[in-house]
Amino acid sequence: MKAAAAAQLRLLDLQAEDTAIAQLEHRRRALPEHAAIAEAKTVRARLQQDLLAARTRVGDLQLEVDKAEADLVPVRERKVRDQHRVDDGAVTDPKQLNALLDEITHLGRRIGDLEDIELEVMEHLEAATGRQNMLAGELTEVENSMRALIAARDEQVSVLDANLGTHQGTRATIAGEIPADLLALYDKIRVRSGGLGAAALRGHRCSGCQLEATPSALAQYAAAAEDDVLRCEECERVLVRIGSVEA
């Protein structure tokens, strides 16, 4: 392949832009905020599940408390009515009075049992409510932290994208100055070799693979015409001569 020496030199400028673009894209992908946000989302999802379970538990326990209180109401009311009957002297028959007193005693024990049940459920409700509030607080903290991380990430991405746009524009301009066949060769090599399609030949060394050319390769480079497109014998990248080549 042949190309004007000036066009070959522009390959190095194109390579510089491609290297800058690759570095910026890597920095964009590798921002630590990406991993921190992903971790925060995982924690948030877990907390949301835990909080939903805690709220369900609080709701169930509140129903139990309401039921316990509802169970107590008629028993208390009956005990009060019976006690009024005793206090008012409305029951004069000894057998009926003893039966009424026994019922009052029984109702008192029943009330005590029901109050114990209510107290136990209320204690569980208090603990469950505390856990619910704790989880809600943790969730708020995680969401606030995540919002701050997203804002920091977006700010950095905005700066990187602006730089990317500048380099991509410069690349497009340079690429337009390079012959299509040379550009296609460069791009093919660049993709295959992990980002480096052209390298400078300074003295005896290829700046791509950092190896010195063999004497036979140097002889071929030195004998090549100015518009001959050279390839490194080791890494096969396009070699752009900087200065004269001496065998």
Query: pLDDT tens digits, residue range 77-129?
Result: 999 998 998 888 878 888 988 998 999 999 999 999 999 999 999 999 999 99
Q: What is the pLDDT of residues 25-64, one digit of tens each?
A: 999 999 999 999 999 999 999 999 999 999 999 999 999 9
Q: Region 146-171: what's the mean pLDDT?
A: 98
Domain 31-175 fold is: Helix Hairpins (1.10.287)
CA–CA gap between residue 171 and residue 166 (Å, rounded): 9
Q: What is the pLDDT of residues 206-244, one digit of tens each?
A: 999 999 999 999 999 999 999 999 999 999 999 999 977
What's the pTM?
A: 0.76
CA–CA gap between residue 194 and residue 216 (Å, rounded): 27
Q: Coil, strand, or helix at residue 112?
A: helix
In this structure, which long-range contacts are made by residues 183-192, counting pairs with CB atoms below 8 Å and at least 24 apart in sequence? 183/14, 185/1, 185/229, 185/238, 186/11, 186/14, 186/15, 186/238, 189/236, 189/237, 189/238, 190/15, 190/18
What DSSP character marks residue 212? B
69 within 8 A of 121, measured Cβ to Cβ: no
Q: Region 10-22: what's the mean pLDDT?
A: 97
What's phi and psi for 238, nearest 5 deg? Answer: -65, 125
To the nearest 10 degrees (0 to 180), the angle between helices 94-175 and 5-29 is: 170
Residue-level pLDDT at 100: 86
Q: Does residue 21 surpass a pLDDT of 80?
A: yes
Residues 6+ apart with CB under 8 A from 192: none
CA–CA gap between residue 22 and residue 86 (Å, rounded): 95
- Residue-range domain boundaries for the chain: 5-25+179-242, 31-175
- Token pair recorded at residue 213: 């050319």
What DSSP character marks residue 4? -
Residue-level pLDDT at 246: 65
CA–CA gap between residue 125 and residue 127 (Å, rounded): 5
Q: Does residue 247 surpass a pLDDT of 80?
A: no
CA–CA gap between residue 165 and residue 159 (Å, rounded): 10
CA–CA gap between residue 109 and residue 107 (Å, rounded): 5
